[in-house]
Amino acid sequence: MEPAYDVIVVGLGVIGASAVWQLAGRGVRVLGIDAHARGHLLGSSHGRSRIIREAYYEAVEYVPLVQRAFGQWRELEAESGLDLLAMTGCLNIGTPGTHVVDGVIASARTHGLESEVLDAGAMRRRFPAFHLPDDQIGVYQPNAGILNADACVGALLDGAVSRGATIRHGIAATSWRADGDGVAVDTQEGTIRAGKLVVAAGPWSSAVLARLGLPLQAVRQYVTHFEPNDPSRFTAPTCPAFIWDVPEGEVYGIPYIPGHGLKVGGHDPGQPCTPETANRVVSHAEVEIVRAIFERCMPGSATQFLGALTCLYTLTPDRHFVIDIDPAHEQVAVAAGFSGHGFKFGPTIGEVLADLALDGGTRHDIRFLSASRFKA
């Protein structure tokens, strides 16, 4: 019997939604399923905003992927009629020799990207919201901005349906297996068959992809929103998006948005958890830790607490993604371990997953993201 679908996508966060959008755009019969309600707050794709930046300090290999993503977010804007991406510029701030600044400089040089190195004095004059120690510098890149995260995921899902996809929330994939040349996905409503499978399960990946033995660890993180004493001081372009290496670790922020305030958070190691065991409440003590950092570094930025959200990162040991074909099942493509910096790449990772599912390979260079790097 012919399978009901050409491809099933498990997981409808930004990566899975992007895969469904891309696959539907190629005219294939695609089903996207997710165990939770649309817009849920349990994974990694919720919230008002995410940073997107071209000169990528984490590794120079990401730059062609994020450059492609910029164009695809604009394509989605045109298709949906929504404003999804606002350009704000981005600052990487830290002491020379730290990865936050050296990495972005290397990325800009490798790919010939526009950027500017500013010493502490120049930073204070040009971006007065930031109070740097004299031994720190800022690296400014203009080709960066913020994505409206919730609207992006919604636009991908709605766009996928408009392109002919089937989307179902509240349907959990309890297991999956090879079924001849195709796959069978078991759900609480029965078994669904397809020719190919894409697994983009976010923080549930370690369980869903257990048979692959990938070193994936979900950790709890949180972000806070503050109303500053003078919003104009913390609004782009006076205050770009930023990533800052401070004594407490790496922190980041998104410029003031009316109704949402200044969003700030950290990339500390996080609290290991599962989606089921994660503490979803942000404590007063946690808020005060963040407030103290930002009142020191950006005086007046954290005057009034507006709210906080938890989110989950799925970490790999090297903090790089895993995007590959299951070595035991060539009809299964997997994407996991986005380590807190995957959202911005959504449409391009979706394109890669569509390539892998339909063609078994992709023109994008993702060799550095292969699952094989974790094999002994």
Q: Provide the CATH number for the domain around residue 300.
A: 3.30.9.10
User: Measured between alpha carbons, how far is 103 from 294 in angstroms, rounded to an integer?
Assistant: 23
Q: The domain that contains 186 carries what CATH number?
A: 3.50.50.60
Q: Domain for residue 71, yes or no? A: no
The CA-to-CA distance between both ends of the chain, in Å, stands at 40
Residues 296 and 243 in one domain: yes
User: Measured between alpha carbons, how far is 153 from 156 in angstroms, rounded to an integer?
Assistant: 5
Nearest partner of 51 among 24, 89, 17, judged by Cα: 89
The total of structural domains in the chain comes to 2
Backbone angles phi, psi at 119, to 5 degrees: -75, 175
Q: Fill in the DSSP letter of residue 351.
A: H
pLDDT at 268 (0 to 100): 83
Q: Kindly report the CA angle at 92 between 83 and 45, in degrees rounded to 5?
A: 40
**DSSP bridge partners of 246:** 249
Q: Domain for residue 189, yes or no? A: yes
The last residue of a domain, from among 315, 349, 364: 315
Tokens coding 260: 């949402």
Contact 322, 339 (CB under 8 A): no
State the amino acid at position 38 in one-letter form.
Answer: R
Residues 221 and 341 in one domain: no
pLDDT at 1 (0 to 100): 63
- Beta-strand (E) ranges in 114-210? 116-119, 137-141, 144-148, 166-169, 173-179, 182-187, 190-199
Residues 114 and 240 in one domain: yes
pLDDT at 269 (0 to 100): 85
The last residue of a domain, from among 289, 315, 341: 315
The string of pLDDT tens digits covering residues 329-347 is: 999 999 999 999 999 999 9
pLDDT at 321 (0 to 100): 98
Residues 34 and 130 in one domain: no
Burial class for 248, CB neighbours closer than 10 Å (0-12, 13-18, 19+): middle
Q: Which residues of the chain have pLDDT under 50?
A: none
Residues 108 and 200 in one domain: no
Residues 229 and 136 in one domain: yes
Residues 310 and 356 in one domain: no
Domain that holds residue 366: 5-46+150-215+318-374
State the amino acid at position 291 in one-letter form.
Answer: R
Q: Domain for residue 9, yes or no? A: yes
Q: Domain for residue 173, yes or no? A: yes
Contact 29, 193 (CB under 8 A): no
Residues 161 and 229 in one domain: no
Residues 226 and 303 in one domain: yes
Q: Domain for residue 180, yes or no? A: yes
Residues 236 and 342 in one domain: no
User: Measured between alpha carbons, how far is 191 from 183 in angstroms, rounded to an integer?
Assistant: 10
Q: Domain for residue 34, yes or no? A: yes
Alpha-carbon 291 to chain mean position: 24
Q: Domain for residue 74, yes or no? A: no
Residues 287 and 156 in one domain: no
Q: Domain for residue 78, yes or no? A: no
Residues 247 and 201 in one domain: no
